[in-house]
Every structure is written in C-alpha cells, then in structure tokens.
Amino acid sequence: MSDTNGAGRSLTLTIVGCGTLSKAIISGMLKSGNTNPKSVLLLPTHLIACVTRESSANSVQEALGPLTTNLKILQNGNLEGVREADVVLLGCKPQMVGQILSENGMSEALEDKLFISILAGVPIRQIQDILTNNGTRPQSQPTKIVRVMPNTASAIGESMSVITSSPGLPKELDEFVTWMFDSIGRTVKLPENLMDVSTALCGSGPAFFSLMLESMIDGAVAMGLPRKEAQMMAAQTMKGAAGLVLQGEHPALLRDKVSTPGGCTIGGLLVLEEGRVRGNVARAVREATVVAEQLGRGVTGVNGTRF
C-alpha cells in the first residue's frame, strides 16, 4: 500500500496468525486501491506476516506476495514481528489467544500499540487480562485494543465488519481502523455485548447463505437447468435481492411484491414455511451466537454436546 495523496504517516502492520480471514482482509486492502482520506493520519506501508508452518508461509507468499513488495514473513517469530509493528492484527484460532499473548516479552512488546483482534468470542477484557496477567503485571503504556468481526468477503471488498473498541481510543487510531475495514466493505460500530451475535450473523453468515444458495441451485438442476448457468443465475438473484434490501426495501415487502395470487412464488414459499425454514435459519444464528460465546471462554467440543 502507498500513500497516494501524502496525507498518511507510514506504519508497519504485523499479522499474527495469518489464516484465511487475515489473508482475505489484507488482500482486500491491497486490492482496494482506495486512497487514504486526508482526515486519516496513519497508513500501513509495510506488512509482517507471522506463521508457524512452512506451508503457511508459502500460502501467505502466494496470496500477498504479488500484491506488495513490502511483505516480510516470519516463521515462529511472533515476538519479533510484534516488536517491529506499529499495529498488530491478531487472527489466530480463539483457543490460542492465551498461548500467543502469554509469550515472555509479548506484553511489553505490545505496550502503547494498536492491537486489532478478529477472534470470534474473545472479549477485550480477556485480552487485557492476559496481557496484564489478571492485573499482576501492569503495562506502563496500556495496549489500545480494538475488536473487529469481518468476514471472508474481505478479499473482494464486500465484507461486513463490526467494530468495537476499548474506551479512550485516540481519534486518529479510530479513524485508521474505520478506514482499514471500510476499504474491504461496509462497517458498523456496536457495543461489545453484541459482538457474539454479530459473529454469528456476519462471520458465519456467508456459510449459511451458501447452503441456501446451493439448495436453490440443486433444485434448478433437478428441473433441467445446466449447473453452471443455475449457479450464476441463483447467485445473481441473491445478490439482486440483497441489493434491494440495502437500498431500503424491507425483506417482507420484497417477498410480498413477488408473491402474486395463485402464482409460483407463493407456492414455493409455503413449502419453505412447511419446512420451518424461517425458524431453523433463525435458530442457526442463535446457535452460532452461543457457540461463539462459548469458544471465547475456551470451551471445547461445544457443537458435540449441544442439542
């Protein structure tokens, strides 16, 4: 990334846990081509990706290497990467947060830095407690923590990212975080008590929509449409419906407009209602919310024990 209008101060962004979502976010930023608004004083110009396996390093190089010349990959070098960073993006598995942040020297390396967590179910308070060993190891300059829930559509600039931050975040850092995630889609700021349901809706949502999309494609194929055309037609139809809702159309009104008396749409809708699709989809969001919250507490095997 480069400062195309001269407004931003360059900084180094380190990604700890450069998995699928982290790569999608960074890839989306690099591809966005958005210029840095004059009101934003910070701009990432150097990237450091911290990974644990050689295969992960190769994957990061393949995904991000062609997009920037300022990429450094560290294998088993989290502490080194954080020490060199101005901003740290944490994208590991939620259950690994304690192990990574408890590494000797990590708390000191993160002092007074901007720390962005995209971990499902891990609250800001938990991160603060790990960094300070539950208050027994206070930081001289507390880490500035922001929690964000983006999704995999980051790579194509269509993410829905939910942002919440610890109190007292300086204005320039708040503007930077907003700019960072605006460059890969839409953003909304919500209180942290709504982050688990946001994780279920926005983070898990693409998988839920994909299942519904696949079902529609299969139905069309069963009735004679070639799969390639059915996939394109179903995806465009879903995109169009979503576009109408984003422009202010209420989903119920949109449904009613399409449902003419005695027509095919109302017939299909009644089949969905008979199958309790509405209730089951809503329950999926509720279930994912509970699982996200449990994962943040370190509970394992949640999906195997719930009914």
Q: Which residues are annotated as a binding site for NADPH?
A: 78
- Which DSSP string corresponds to 28-53? HHHHH-PPPPTT--EEEEEEEEEESS
Q: Are strands 144-149 and 42-51 parallel, antiparallel or unpaired?
A: unpaired
Separation between Cα atoms, residue 130 and residue 122, nearest integer Å? 11
Question: What is the enclosing helix (H) or strand (E) of 135?
Answer: none
DSSP code of residue 199 = I
- The CA-based diameter of the chain, rounded to the nearest angstrom, is 70
Kindly report the number of other CB atoms within 10 A of residue 89's CB atom: 26
Three-class SS of residue 89?
strand
Three-class SS of residue 202?
helix
Please compute, for residue 193, the number of CA atoms within 13 A of its CA located in the half-sphere on the CB side: 0
Distances (CA, A) of 36 to 3, 25, 148, 242, 246: 6, 17, 20, 29, 25
- Binding-site residues sit at 78
For residue 283, give every residue at least 6 positions away whose Cβ sits within 8 Å of its Cβ, in sequence order, or none: none
Tracing tokens 């060199």 back to the chain, one arrives at: 84
Distances (CA, A) of 70 to 10, 61, 189, 259: 12, 11, 30, 54
Kindly report the number of other CB atoms within 10 A of residue 28's CB atom: 23
Strands (E), 40-104: 42-51, 71-75, 87-90
